[in-house]
Amino acid sequence: MMKNATRVSLILAVCMAAPAISQADATTYRIREDGKSRVTFVSDAPLETMTGKSSKVRGSVTVDPADITMTKGSFKVPVVSLRTDNDLRDEHLQGDGWLDAKKNPNIHFEITEVILGKKDSGELKKNKETKVQVKGKFTAHGVTKPVTANGTVKWSGDSLHIKANFTVTLEDHLISVPSIVRLKVANDIAVSVDLRAAAH
């Protein structure tokens, strides 16, 4: 009876310790504003395709390579850093009629869930790309909406390379396109991110 009780106690102790061990293996990787990461958005309207970019990305991602479904993190991009290769258009984009950089200085994305395919492993393999689906909260123009992104993660031990694509809708973020430019600005905007994060 005593042996059974001891065995049960050991099993319980291991089970209780497991989450702590997993948490200890999680590492926080920093996305620094060093030009190595970038965000791109594309407006593909009937009369014009507009591409905007920013390399002023900052944030962090906490990842346990043994279970990437536990990943948490966020990153932000200053609205004033967005460039479309047209100074006047950039000024309008950042103005109060569009993204309103003064009241809402940053575009923000927060990871809420990482989903894998039924046959996919939650463990990252060193220097190999892993396909993921990421659910998150996207905030622009002061309005937060849920989004789902498809992407890949490549882990090298002390760094992460994350790529993802998703679509946002201007109307969802209370941005109305004036009728005069409606054929030049799409309501649906394709967003892609290419992030490089380091553990040091």
**pLDDT exceeds 60 at position 123:** yes
C-alpha distances in angstroms, 33 versus 58, 59, 65, 97? 5, 9, 24, 27
C-alpha distances in angstroms, 4 versus 8, 10, 11, 33, 133? 6, 10, 11, 57, 44
pLDDT at position 118 is 75
Residue 160 lies in a domain: yes
Q: Lowest-pLDDT range, 19-23, 27-31, 89-93, 155-159?
A: 19-23
Residue 12 lies in a domain: no
Cβ partners under 8 Å of residue 148, min gap 6: 133, 134, 135, 136, 166
- Count of domains in the chain? 1
Domain with 150 in it: what CATH number?
A: 2.40.128.110
Longest dimension (CA), the chain: 83
**pLDDT exceeds 90 at position 55:** yes
Give the predicted TM-score (pTM) of the model. 0.84
pLDDT at position 122 is 83
Q: What is the rounded average pLDDT of the residues 57-82? A: 95
Residue 80 to residue 95: CA distance in whole angstroms: 10
Residue 132 to residue 144: CA distance in whole angstroms: 22
pLDDT at position 4 is 53
Residue 14 lies in a domain: no
Expressed in angstroms, the distance from the first to the final Cα of the chain is: 51
Residue 193 lies in a domain: yes
Are the C-beta atoms of 181 and 144 separated by less than 8 Å? Answer: no
pLDDT band at 24, cuts 50/70/90? very low
Q: What is the rounded average pLDDT of the residues 26-40? A: 95
Owning domain of residue 81: 26-198
Are the C-beta atoms of 133 and 115 separated by less than 8 Å? Answer: yes
